[in-house]
Amino acid sequence: MMSTMALALVSFFSVNSTATAVTPSISNERIMDQGKEPVKPEDLPDPIKKALANAPYNEWQVASAFSVTADDGKQHYEIDLKKGEEETTTVKLDKDGNPVE
């Protein structure tokens, strides 16, 4: 009986230590993506919405959007677009709706 309890405790602590070892990699991923924040398509600035409503983007639908802050502090929006079921592209626009390279 005592050996069963001891085995159960050892198993519990070894599982706990394994779970703890995974945690740092998750937090490292979050640190790497700190400059990229999701934005709802309806929350994009009006100039970007206007740019997306006109050619060459008007045939595309917004699949996802992100506000990106570069290392130099400049901000732009990265917008994933979808046309139909198979075509996808990503565009980068500044807050005024102008393309960013």
What DSSP character marks residue 54?
S
47: preceding bond cis by omega (within 30 degrees): no
Residue of higher predicted confidence among 64 and 29 = 64
Domain boundaries, the chain: 1-32, 35-101
Give the Cα separation of 56 and 23 in Å (integer): 43
Give the Cα separation of 56 and 60 in Å (integer): 9
Q: Are 93 and 79 in contact (CB under 8 A)?
A: yes
The per-residue pLDDT for range 72-93, each reduced to its tens digit, is 999 999 999 999 999 999 999 9
Give the Cα separation of 57 and 34 in Å (integer): 28
Q: Using alpha carbons only, how large is the chain's radius of gyration in Å?
A: 23
The per-residue pLDDT for range 19-54, each reduced to its tens digit, is 444 434 333 344 345 689 999 999 999 999 999 999
Give the Cα separation of 7 and 63 in Å (integer): 51
Q: What is the pLDDT of residue 101?
A: 83
Tell me the CATH number for domain 35-101: 3.10.450.360
Q: What is the pLDDT of residue 33?
A: 55
Q: What is the pLDDT of residue 43?
A: 97
